[in-house]
């Protein structure tokens, strides 16, 4: 039986980090992640089938055009609602991570949020692959302390953006290419 990688996307978290911390404004449509590339990256990286779950806070409505686009990319869209003080996306992702402990599947979480640390740690059983896909400089520092967690960068590893983002990142000396700075 083919093993599956479940890709759990915290779209709100990625969008907020992109807009608030990287761009300093709401992203334009051409600056948003190409979500289909995310699934393709996961499939290539671990050489197995992937299933994408995209969690949305739909308390005030469902963004139908976006949902249809995600469905066309083979995501299972999870629209959620709740009280104004409930972090419905976080709650649903936590419950999904907890349910995956009982399954023979690999997992990639797409988020920076430290609310998922305990559930990710519980998945690190030495039998499955567990990954975190985020902007490296904005992921919760607690993820660095989890042995066995594979960490990937949305822009540099997964290549989900059409143009370079205005990020400042620490470059490992083995990856340094002066031509990228000299134009």
Check residue 17 and give its pLDDT.
94
Q: What is the pLDDT of residues 120-159, one digit of tens each?
A: 999 999 999 999 999 999 999 999 999 999 999 999 999 9
pLDDT higher than threshold 60 for residue 1: no
Mean pLDDT (the chain) is 93
Task: Please state the three-class secondary structure of the chain as a single string.
Answer: CCCEEEEEEEHHHHHHHHHHHHHCCCCCHHHCCCHHHHHHHHHHHHCCEEEEEEEEECCCCCCHHHHHHHHHCCEEEEEECCCCCCCHHHHHHHHHHHHHCCCCCEEEEECCCHHHHHHHHHHCCCCCCEEEEECHHHCCHHHHHCCCEEEEECCCCCCCCCCCCCCCCCCCHHHCCCHHHHC
CATH 3.40.50.300 fits 4-182, yes or no: no
Where are the chain's structural domains?
4-182
Check residue 134 and give its pLDDT.
97
pLDDT higher than threshold 70 for residue 99: yes
Q: What is the pLDDT of residues 9-50, one digit of tens each?
A: 999 999 999 999 999 999 988 899 999 999 999 999 999 999
pLDDT band of 174, cuts 50, 70, 90: confident
């Amino acid at each position: 039986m083919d093993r599956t990688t479940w890709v759990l996307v915290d779209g709100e978290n990625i969008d907020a980090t992109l807009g608030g911390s990287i761009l300093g404004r709401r992203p334009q449509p051409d600056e948003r992640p190409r979500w289909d590339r995310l699934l393709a990256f996961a499939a290539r990286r671990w050489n197995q089938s992937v299933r994408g779950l995209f969690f949305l806070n739909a308390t005030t409505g469902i963004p139908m055009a976006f949902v249809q686009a995600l469905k066309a990319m083979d995501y299972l869209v999870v629209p959620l609602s709740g009280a104004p003080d409930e972090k419905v996306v976080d709650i649903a992702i936590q419950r999904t991570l907890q349910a995956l402990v009982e399954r023979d599947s690999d997992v990639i979480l797409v988020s920076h949020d430290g609310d998922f640390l305990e559930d990710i740690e519980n998945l690190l059983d030495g039998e499955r692959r567990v990954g975190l896909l985020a902007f490296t400089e904005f992921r919760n520092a607690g993820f660095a302390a989890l042995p066995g967690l594979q960490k990937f960068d949305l822009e540099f590893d997964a290549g989900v953006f059409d143009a370079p983002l205005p990020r400042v990142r620490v470059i490992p000396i083995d990856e340094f290419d002066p031509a990228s700075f000299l134009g």
